[in-house]
Amino acid sequence: MDILSLLVNIKLYIYNNININKEYYIILSYVLKKSYIWIISNLNYIFNNNELNILYYLLIQRLRGVPISYLTNKCYFLNFSYKIYYDVFIPRKDTEIMVEHCLYLIKINNFNNILELGIGCGAISISIAKFFPYINILGIDFNVICLELSKYNCKIKKIFNINFIYSNWFSKIENKKFNIIISNPPYINKYSNNIKEDLRFESYLSLYSKNNGLNEIKYIIFNSYRYLLNYGYLIIEHCFTQINLINYYLSIKGYFNIKNYKDYNNIFRFTEAQKII
Ligand SMILES: C[S@@+](CC[C@H](N)C(=O)[O-])C[C@H]1O[C@@H](n2cnc3c(N)ncnc32)[C@H](O)[C@@H]1O
């Protein structure tokens, strides 16, 4: 069986999905360890048995709905690629705008102490570190796989200004204070009708939160205040349905300059608020 015949077979018999061309080439590139250019210039390359077995396995997993990032152990965020494993949240495009905003705040205020709560594969902290290699970044998570993976992603990218520690939100942060606390916490309401993505394969503890998805957000809002320097910002991602309660929690805790921002799909996606005393 060669590259082209397998694609034709998949299209005819298994898979009727408009993304199949793209996904087939991504999976092929992963299995054969060849570039896209090599693949399309060698469409008559004949697979050996081992390659064919792995390909069938991965294509079947993809048909089951396993995200392609888990099959190839690779994901992308702000144009950088990251290693990713099962059990670790796959960074989303929707989060990029919040990080771009954070980069802007760091630049205009000359900030140099940043805390990220819930790092996943490290994509947010590493993006910040790439742009600002001389500031101090602390990233925490309570999933040890996230911590190991983030350290690995840092090493590959030669990032040296992030410390990653195991912490249940603020439990191990002690008396440090930060200019910015940024977080994309679990905020999905398990019972919501707004869930359009297939989330079956991602870790439950990265995605879902009790009390209509607001439990972790509320905890972070109320506890961040103490860890922010004066004029520091809390920047937090959330669902568009949550902004009224989030604005309410922020205001009763005493934050100022509460602003809600939309993502590139024009949907409210994150909120910033400032501590001013
Ligand atoms: C939605 S994921 C975001 C991951 C990453 N920041 C990103 O945007 O790709 C939420 C992360 O928060 C972590 N998390 C959830 N509850 C936590 C807690 N109580 N303490 C620390 N981290 C927590 C999860 O392990 C997960 O990595």
Ligand 1: residues with CB < 6 A are: 89, 91, 95, 118-120, 123-124, 140-143, 146, 168-169, 184-186, 205-206, 216
CA of 186 to the centre of ligand 1 (A): 6
Taking CA atoms only, the protein residue closest to ligand 1 atom 14 is 118
Helix (H) or strand (E) holding 273: strand 268-274
Atom index in ligand 1 nearest the CA of residue 88 equals: 27
- Predicted confidence at residue 4, as pLDDT, reads 76
Taking CA atoms only, the protein residue closest to ligand 1 atom 11 is 118
Atom index in ligand 1 nearest the CA of residue 207 equals: 1
The predicted-structure confidence for 130-148, as pLDDT tens digits, reads as follows 999 999 999 999 999 999 9
- Predicted confidence at residue 2, as pLDDT, reads 83
- Predicted confidence at residue 27, as pLDDT, reads 92
Query: What pTM was computed for the model?
Result: 0.93
CA of 117 to the centre of ligand 1 (A): 7
> Distance (Å, rounded) from C-alpha 161 to C-alpha 154?
9
- Predicted confidence at residue 129, as pLDDT, reads 98
Place of tokens 């000359």: 110
- Predicted confidence at residue 118, as pLDDT, reads 98
Taking CA atoms only, the protein residue closest to ligand 1 atom 19 is 168
- Predicted confidence at residue 133, as pLDDT, reads 97
- Predicted confidence at residue 252, as pLDDT, reads 98
- Predicted confidence at residue 97, as pLDDT, reads 97
- Predicted confidence at residue 1, as pLDDT, reads 82
**Residue ranges of the chain with pLDDT lower than 70?**
11-19
Instruction: Find, among 198, 186, 181, 179, the residue nearest to 242 by Cα.
Output: 186
Probe residue for ligand 1, chosen from 95, 138, 206, 222 as the CB with the greatest number of ligand atoms within 8 Å: 206
What SS3 class is residue 165? Answer: strand
- Predicted confidence at residue 158, as pLDDT, reads 96
- Predicted confidence at residue 17, as pLDDT, reads 53
